[in-house]
A and B are shown apart, each in its own frame.
Chain A
Amino acid sequence: MIKIQSKNILITAAVIGAMTTSTVQAANWLMIQGTEPSGAAERAKVWGFVQAQYQKNTSDENTTDPTGGYIPPKLIGPNLTSQQQFNVNRARIGVRGTGMPLDSNINYFLLTEFGNNGITAGNNGSGHVTDASITLNEIPGARIRVGLFKTPGAEEGLQAIHVFDYINFSAVTNQMLLERYPNQTYTGNIAPVTLPSPTPLNGFDKSVGAFRDTGVQVFDTFKMSDWEHSYAVMIGNGNGLNFGDNDNNKDTYLYWSSELVFSGEGARREGMKMFAWTQNGKRRLDNTNDSTHNPTKFDRDRSGIGFKYLKKPFRVSAEYMKGDGMIFVGPDKPSMWINDSAGAVAQGVGDGANGKANGYYLEGGWYIPGSKWEIDLRYDVYNRLTDDAAFAAGPNIGKSFEMQFKNITLGAQYHINKKTRINMEVTDMSAEAVDFGPPSASNPNNNLDGLDKVYAVQITHIF
């Protein structure tokens, strides 16, 4: 009897121990997503997560002016047909591991998306492969990852989305980094709408890039005392989730991070990380307002620098980013840059194909001690088309189409358990065409007038 009791105690202690000790895992996004724990990976670990949400946008269409209407920031994406909606914005399931467990030098990662977001909205059906990669760990200091996967870059894009501390991205990440791919042929601007909307404002016919590309990445991490230094060099098609290349040019990606590790492991490891990155490529775009299919190539360059500090109960992070070329000017402009037949930039659009932009975010979190609550606060700024040419003629002569977006987001997270949490947040939005004065007819601020707040609540469950 004593024997049985002692055995039960041992097993109970073991189970408790197992629950309080997390699996040893690599310690940064490059390693977490691209490798498996050596000698301890499963042949096929099925995993995924579901995110369900409700969002309400309280902006108004500016009915005081007859030209006012609902524009994308006043509606809920990706559909842009309503100001409030329930949505299963992410439903991902995948499998990862090592096909031959005896050989830890090779691992794979496969993930699919079945939720409703920029990846699956539009003409892309309900399912899409988002990651399909193989990592070869044969060469010390130079792991090689091939296939479709997240590109080394900005923190908001590179990090695992299911542990993202907010529901919506900052404006600079959403507009400048989350790439929209121009439609194959010229597609005209979709004007501001009334509700119910007769035409969806989102006119893109391809998935967003989802911070991913198909290519080859060389990367690794080096531990030096309490510091961990990581690098990644990648060459990819520059065509997002679309697998193949469409412009006979390759994008290049460079990434470096150095982190002073405090404690813990995995996605919420405590430490002070500094990082920098750059991406350079070209895009093919038919941007002339005519019936001829005559795409040309435009540069698309992005870079950024940032840091993240996490030592509970506090978290602080910031990142500055800038972009040159292929600046997204709204989902209602699927050609991203519109010329009239004479070749001049159309009124109210701006030169996104050749434009420049920059932006940043500063955010922090406070994990309320002794509770399951976390408070988050983020301030983000995005300056779009900072060097846009001024109109040469017309009523807005001398004015450029530079836009400035500023958002303040206050959020709270309730961690039900390690795999389930509820996010709540409210974002106070503001945007302005900086060269234009107060809202009036033929003035872009007319449509921006009435921009207000987005309330969002989301539950995430990881399995």
Chain B
Amino acid sequence: MRNFYTSLVLLLAMAFILPVQAASEFAEKHVVLQISDDDPFKQTLVLNVANNLIKHYGQEKVDVEIVAFGPGLRLLFENNANSDRINSLTTNKVIFSACGNTIEGMSKQLGHAPALHKDAKVVPGGVVRIIDLVDQGYQLIKP
């Protein structure tokens, strides 16, 4: 019976730990990349950084999440010119998070919600998402 409770506790602990470790259970590095400004060069840059991280550490050894908010959300627009690169990074387990607050603000300006890339995951707030990830041990990089 004691083994049962021990196993249960371990299972519960893993249930809490696993989401924190996100994509790869073997990841040794956890990086969150911030894109929040309007400059198209920054879009290229943040994708390059993600790509270089995957190449350097290997897909299984690093978790990479790109959080887009403010003007930087344009990176995750459905028809963004970098969509092919986003598709490629997604297959390498890179996560793309779109700020819900920004979407709400842009919706007011556009008169409709901006169409997002199919793999973009909407989070309540981009900054909040970054803070949460940093609390979980992620390193924040702002290319």
A101/B141 in contact, CB under 8 A: no
B80/A39 in contact, CB under 8 A: yes
Chain A residues in 8 Å Cβ range of B38? 42-43, 101
Interface of B is mostly: helix
> Is B91 in the interface zone, CB < 8 Å from A?
no
> Is B87 in the interface zone, CB < 8 Å from A?
no
B49/A37 in contact, CB under 8 A: no
Give the CA-CA distance A25 to B44 in the complex, in Å.
12
Given contacts A39-B74, A40-B40, contact A14 B52 (CB under 8 A): yes
Query: Which of A16-24, A176-184, A201-209 contacts the other chain?
Result: A16-24
B74/A102 in contact, CB under 8 A: yes
20 further A-B pairs in the complex, CB-CB below 8 A; given A17-B49, A24-B81: A10-B53, A11-B143, A13-B48, A14-B52, A18-B44, A18-B45, A18-B48, A38-B77, A38-B79, A39-B77, A40-B40, A40-B74, A40-B81, A41-B40, A42-B38, A101-B71, A101-B74, A102-B109, A102-B110, A103-B110
A40 partner, pick from B43, B51, B139, beta carbons under 8 A = B43
Closest CB pairs A-B (n = 6): A17-B48, A39-B80, A37-B81, A14-B49, A39-B77, A40-B40
B52/A42 in contact, CB under 8 A: no
Chain A nearest CB, measured from B4 CB (Å): 42
B79/A39 in contact, CB under 8 A: yes
Chain A residues in 8 Å Cβ range of B44? 18, 21, 23-24
Chain A residues in 8 Å Cβ range of B49? 10-11, 13-14, 17
B48/A21 in contact, CB under 8 A: yes
Interface of A is mostly: loop
Identify the A interface with B (CB < 8 A).
Answer: 3, 6-7, 10-11, 13-15, 17-18, 21, 23-25, 37-43, 101-104
Most buried by B among A13, A42, A43: A13
> Is B24 in the interface zone, CB < 8 Å from A?
no
Chain B residues in 8 Å Cβ range of A15? 45
A104/B77 in contact, CB under 8 A: yes
Give the CA-CA distance A7 to B31 in the complex, in Å.
10
**Beta-carbon nearest neighbor of A42 in chain B:** B40
Chain A residues in 8 Å Cβ range of B31? 10
Chain A residues in 8 Å Cβ range of B143? 11, 14
A39/B109 in contact, CB under 8 A: no
Chain A residues in 8 Å Cβ range of B110? 102-103
Give the CA-CA distance A40 to B39 in the complex, in Å.
8
> Is B82 in the interface zone, CB < 8 Å from A?
yes
Given contacts A13-B52, A101-B74, A102-B106, contact A18 B81 (CB under 8 A): no
Give the CA-CA distance A13 to B49 in the complex, in Å.
7
Contact with A along B87-114 (1 / 0, CB 8 A): 0000000000000000000100110001
Chain A residues in 8 Å Cβ range of B85? 24
A23/B40 in contact, CB under 8 A: yes
Chain A residues in 8 Å Cβ range of B74? 39-40, 101-102
> Is B32 in the interface zone, CB < 8 Å from A?
no
Chain B residues in 8 Å Cβ range of A23? 40-41, 44
Give the CA-CA distance A381 to B43 in the complex, in Å.
47
B81/A102 in contact, CB under 8 A: no
B56 partner, pick from A13, A39, A40, A103, beta carbons under 8 A = A13
Give the CA-CA distance A436 to B110 in the complex, in Å.
70
Chain B residues in 8 Å Cβ range of A17? 45, 48-49, 51-52
Chain B residues in 8 Å Cβ range of A42? 38-40
Give the CA-CA distance A24 to B48 in the complex, in Å.
13
Chain B residues in 8 Å Cβ range of A24? 44, 81-82, 85
Chain B nearest CB, measured from A141 CB (Å): 14
Chain A residues in 8 Å Cβ range of B53? 10
B48/A40 in contact, CB under 8 A: no
